Amino acid sequence: MTLQGSMTALATPFKDGKLDEGAYEALVEYQVTNGTSVLVPMGTTGEAVTMTAPERRRAIEVCIKANRGRAKVFAGAGSNSTAETIEGVKTARELGADGTLIVTPYYNKPTQAGLVEHYRLVAQAHPGYPIIAYNVPGRTGVDLLPETVKRLLDVKEVVALKEATGNILRTLDVFEQVGDRITLLSGDDFVVAPFIFSGGRGVISVSSNVAPRLMADLCAAALQGDIEGARRLQLSMQPLHRLLFIESNPIPVKMALHQMGLFGTEIRPPLTPMTEGNAARLQEELGKLGLLSRKAS
């Protein structure tokens, strides 16, 4: 399975406390018609941790149906419980997702050996089912080290790593350990171009919710070795990236999608709506990029 290019960690629209299925379908359409190669429902950006298992199941189901086989779908199923993760992967597999994104277990701080065992047990329960491992120590409190990634080569179901440290030296350290035996994907929108030039194959992005075509073009330029084109696109998107992370993700990206007319304003506690001042700055930047007129069709 080839995984490369711009992949979107989908935000989740809510209306009156429930999944807004129409808005979700429109977001999927906006993505697949603007170059997104992989849809990733039920990750951090999707507010999966504040959704029930039936809600997550329905969101994955709606995503897959709206996609109609055009992009790949890797559904988030990570938890700090290995047993719960196995059940989440079962749901994704039953619904027809092409694979799953599994974050390192958070809060309970497993050892490096425990991280390997977590992925091994999930893979053992779902043999042959592709897994993207997800390392985001800023959120989880645990760091999947490069030498541990090398140990994951023995778990053949782990086909890729989403590396969200934003550290290019870390990227090179991982490549030093594993070469091209696992696909590396950036989990940080700020470093997509240098990440790909260092050997990565793409990004699982937050910003591509809002600007899928720009991110797809950036990835394509970098993968084609167009250094100047990729640099230009990366720099043009940096102000947007900063604003989309000025408050906790996904607060800003949901506000941006609302300003674009794609989502309502609803977000689940303990997250709160974006502050007025930051929202105004975000809207101004969307206008500069010509995104306020971009409606999902």
* Token pair 């999707």 in the structure block, residue: 46
Tell me the pLDDT of the chain (297 aa) as tens digits: 789 999 999 999 999 999 999 999 999 999 999 999 999 999 999 999 999 999 999 999 999 999 999 999 999 999 999 999 999 999 999 999 999 999 999 999 999 999 999 999 999 999 999 999 999 999 999 999 999 999 999 999 999 999 999 999 999 999 999 999 999 999 999 999 999 999 999 999 999 999 999 999 999 999 999 999 999 999 999 999 999 999 999 999 999 999 999 999 999 999 999 999 999 999 999 999 999 975 543
Q: Where are the domains of the chain?
A: 5-224
pTM for this predicted structure: 0.96
Q: What is the pLDDT of residues 246-290, one digit of tens each?
A: 999 999 999 999 999 999 999 999 999 999 999 999 999 999 999
- In one-letter notation, the amino acid at residue 271 is L
For the four alpha carbons of 255, 261, 265 and 270, in that order, the dihedral sign comes to negative
Catalytic residue numbers read 134, 162
Q: Which of 22, 19, 30 is nearest to 260 (CA)?
A: 30
Q: What are the helix (H) ranges across the chain? A: 21-32, 53-67, 82-95, 112-125, 137-140, 146-151, 168-178, 192-197, 212-223, 227-244, 251-259, 276-288
- In one-letter notation, the amino acid at residue 177 is Q
The fold of 5-224 is TIM Barrel (3.20.20)
